[in-house]
Amino acid sequence: MNRIVTLAQRPTGLVDQATTAVVEHAIPTCGPGEALIKVGMLSIDPTIRTWMNDAPGYLPPIQIGDVIRSSGAGVVVESQTDRYAVGDIVIGMTGWQDYVLATEENKFSVVPAGMGLDLATVMNVLGVTGLTAWFGMTDVGAISAGDVVVVSGAAGATGSAAGQIARARGASLVIGIAGGPEKCAQVVADYGFDYCLDYREPDLAKRIREVAPTGVDLYFDNVGGPVLDAVLSNIAMRGRIVLCGAIAQYNDPAAAAIYNHAMLIMRRASMTGFIILDYAARFLEAQMELAGLLLGGQLVHHEHIVDGLDNAPTALNLLFTGGNSGKTLVRVDGSVALS
Amino acid sequence: MNRIVTLAQRPTGLVDQATTAVVEHAIPTCGPGEALIKVGMLSIDPTIRTWMNDAPGYLPPIQIGDVIRSSGAGVVVESQTDRYAVGDIVIGMTGWQDYVLATEENKFSVVPAGMGLDLATVMNVLGVTGLTAWFGMTDVGAISAGDVVVVSGAAGATGSAAGQIARARGASLVIGIAGGPEKCAQVVADYGFDYCLDYREPDLAKRIREVAPTGVDLYFDNVGGPVLDAVLSNIAMRGRIVLCGAIAQYNDPAAAAIYNHAMLIMRRASMTGFIILDYAARFLEAQMELAGLLLGGQLVHHEHIVDGLDNAPTALNLLFTGGNSGKTLVRVDGSVALS
């Protein structure tokens, strides 16, 4: 049977018992041009929470009764297409379920074998997470040598990669923002940021000013809300703010308010949003540099693996409660692995 | 004597009796390399209100006891420099006073004689107001043919010019936002916008959606606050928001909140602030096109002239109470005029 985690009810805050349901269906039948994939691992991303809302977004909301949309990795167990061979490890939109069909509409990428990397690393650094950090920093943020860079969610998978990419591209100062002293210590010790500030500081704007007295040239924003406001008040002349996410408000629309947008005028600065899907045609370019950084030891990464498809909703909540560290993945089937 | 309007006390909302004081000093003495200017007309701009606050800005706050900083025009009455001849009409930072010295630090531009334009028109369309509209639309906003354009403060001097520049550059739809039915009617009838919406509409976002169902490609924002939020919720894919001012909050910091910045992510859109002073080296380029539009009848403009230096504070308030229409100027000395 195929276990499918569906959206039972739209959540208002964190996901709870009533949000999802597990239903069992027959394993889908593989038709001509299709392949059947046994799901091995799910990528747990904050954006999944936005798809649960009935609100306009970059993709349509998940409908009630539908499988929770998610990227993930799996192994091809049956194929009626030349595109995939049985045994291939593939990455794409698996959804929260045991089996998924690769179709003309839902294509997967085959992970090259023999890379010497484990699947979790590939899903983190060479997957959507690392790609988001890379395109946000280089393309949207136009990082250049000498920049003073601030990254929020710095202990998270995307943020920790973003800061290390900034460092590799010659940032003069890399400042993280994270939740609590433990995570802040990790951001400096593990990921090599120069400083890390606790976003719960009573006067975060002042703390940023102390460590970045010349202002912030590039801010990679994962969170929105008061943290974005604190950086806005410290933005440098012609500073750039890259909007990657707004995690503070995904569960709490009231946390969306920002008050300091007029600093963009005073400092001739800009704020630009992006969605990683737009860059699909350029993924390889990013993966080359990311793999290079990995092999050169310049891209420290951690994965936080939660076991069991049933625990996917709990794993999603970790992104918002701060209970995770590094990239959150759900292991659905441990036998799916890179050789 | 030289009457000088000084900052007596920082205002918290609108300027009132206690905000300014009029003091009299001797007419300044013109030294070598300097020229004495008799002030004829003041340009009343929302930014003056921001300079009265003790807050970081693109220029230092006006100090208590100092003359109110302002641009304006005057006639050279005495000169000890080859840069200005007696009788020249000049534009620059006059401040709110009867006389000012042109110095090495405070330079003025000489208005060419024989242009066939009156001083008020020059100060409006070829001055900071028209220049702000032009650089905001063309350079920051990268207007291109076919764009759906929204302009707030559309009955104002900058907004009305911005909409007409968009039209001249091939915008497919030009939508104004202004305060009240009378101004909205003027925006359509006088300035040729396709639509004008009242910002007090109970559901402005919905009204924008009705007139711009494909979304807003370019928004020229003068006001910030709820109007900016309403446009954010209608921003088109890769839309651009040009931040020219945030008039809603200059007198009321609580009006600064915006809630929809995450739409910039969903729509891969950007929001960029600018300050016209940065473009000084390119003013002539803009003035050529602006003069062309003026002469071709494509740039309708109005000036709202308030008489008397003493009334400058009242004139400034008009910008925020909606009591003005077109460019607000204060006539200090009616004999100063272009030939």
Q: Are A249 and A227 in contact (CB under 8 A)?
A: no
Provide the pLDDT for residue A254: 75
| pLDDT tens per residue, range A293-308 | 998 999 999 999 999 9
The H or E element spanning position B93 is: strand B89-93
Which residue in the set A56, A57, A224 is minimally distant from B261, CB to CB?
A224
Which CATH number belongs to the domain containing residue B234 in this structure?
3.40.50.720
DSSP letter for each residue of A119-147? HHHHHHHSSHHHHHHHHIIIIIS---TT-
Closest CA to B220 of B155, B133, B130, B325: B133
What is the least distance, in Å, from the CA of A246 to any CA of chain B? 6
Give pLDDT tens digits along chain B (339 positions).
999 999 999 999 899 999 999 999 999 999 999 999 999 999 999 999 999 999 878 899 999 999 999 999 999 999 999 999 999 999 999 999 999 999 999 999 998 877 788 999 999 999 899 999 999 999 999 999 999 999 999 999 999 999 999 999 999 999 999 999 999 999 999 999 999 999 999 999 999 999 999 999 999 999 999 999 999 999 999 999 999 988 777 777 778 899 999 999 999 999 999 999 899 889 989 998 999 999 899 999 999 999 999 999 999 999 988 877 889 999 999 999 997
Provide the pLDDT for residue B187: 97
Strand partners, B218: B149, B240
Provide the pLDDT for residue A245: 83
For B103, residues 6+ apart whose C-beta sits below 8 A from its C-beta are B33, B34
Provide the pLDDT for residue B339: 78
Numbered residues of chain A with Cβ closer than 8 Å to any chain B Cβ: 56-58, 224, 228, 243-246, 249, 253, 256-275, 278
Q: Do B265 and A246 touch (CB under 8 A)?
A: yes
Provide the pLDDT for residue A157: 93
Give A253's contacts in chain B (Cβ within 8 Å): 259
What is the least distance, in Å, from the CA of A277 to any CA of chain B? 11
| pLDDT tens per residue, range A182-230 | 999 999 999 999 999 999 999 999 999 999 999 999 999 999 999 999 9
Same domain, B250 and B156: yes
pLDDT-derived band at A49, boundaries 50, 70, 90: very high
What is the least distance, in Å, from the CA of B275 to any CA of chain A? 7
Q: Are B152 and B227 in contact (CB under 8 A)?
A: yes
Which residue in the set A256, A265, A274 is minimally distant from B273, CB to CB?
A265
Closest CA to B160 of B334, B324, B332, B333: B324
- Residue A320 confidence (pLDDT) above 80: yes
Q: Do A266 and B56 touch (CB under 8 A)?
A: yes
Check: complex ipTM more than 0.90: no
Residue B157, classed as helix, strand or coil, is: helix
Which residue in the set A262, A268, A269 is minimally distant from B246, CB to CB?
A262
Write out the residue range of the structural domain in which residue B76 sits.
2-111+302-331
- Looking up tokens 């080296």 gives B281
Q: Do A273 and B262 touch (CB under 8 A)?
A: yes
Same domain, A98 and A187: no
What is the least distance, in Å, from the CA of B296 to any CA of chain A? 32
- Measured over the CA atoms of residue A276, residue A131, residue A218 and residue A228, the dihedral's sign is positive
Same domain, B93 and B207: no
Token digits of residue B278? 């940065």
Strand partners, A97: A4
Distance CA A170, CA B286 (A): 37
Provide the pLDDT for residue A70: 97
DSSP alpha helix (H) spans, chain B: 46-51, 119-125, 128-135, 157-168, 181-189, 204-211, 225-232, 247-250, 263-266, 283-295, 312-321
Q: Is residue A118 part of a domain?
A: no
Q: Is residue A195 part of a domain?
A: yes
Residues B78, B82, B83, B88, Cα dihedral to 10°: 50
| pLDDT tens per residue, range A139-149 | 999 999 999 99
Same domain, B162 and B264: yes
Percent of chain A clearing pLDDT 90 (strictly above): 86
Q: Is residue A17 part of a domain?
A: yes
Backbone φ and ψ of A62, nearest 5°: -65, 135
Distance CA A207, CA A177 (A): 11
Residues A292, A293, A296, A302, Cα dihedral to 10°: -130
Same domain, B82 and B174: no
Q: Is residue B120 part of a domain?
A: no
Distance CA B220, CA B154 (A): 10
Average pLDDT over residues A132-154: 97
**Count of domains in chain A?**
2
Q: Is residue A318 part of a domain?
A: yes
Q: Is residue B271 part of a domain?
A: yes
B254 sits in the region (left: phi over 0; alpha: psi -120 to 50; else beta) called: alpha
Q: Is residue B79 part of a domain?
A: yes
Q: Do B265 and A258 touch (CB under 8 A)?
A: no
For A54, residues 6+ apart whose C-beta sits below 8 A from its C-beta are A10, A61
Buried b (16+ CB within 10 A) or exposed e, B157-191: bbbbbbbbbbbbbebebbbbbbbeeebbebbbebb
Average pLDDT over residues A32-52: 96
What is the least distance, in Å, from the CA of A25 to any CA of chain B? 33
Same domain, B272 and B137: yes
Residues A97, A102, A104, A110, Cα dihedral to 10°: 130
- Give the residue from chain B lying closest to A257, CA to CA: B259
Same domain, B132 and B273: yes
Same domain, A265 and A132: yes
Q: What share of chain B is helix, strand, coil (3-state, %, to 5)?
A: 30, 25, 40
Q: Are B240 and B218 in contact (CB under 8 A)?
A: yes
Closest CA to A194 of A148, A152, A231: A148
Which residue in the set B256, B266, B268 is minimally distant from A262, CB to CB?
B256
Same domain, A25 and A96: yes
Same domain, A81 and A143: no
Same domain, B191 and B107: no
Same domain, A105 and A137: no
Q: Do B271 and A272 touch (CB under 8 A)?
A: yes
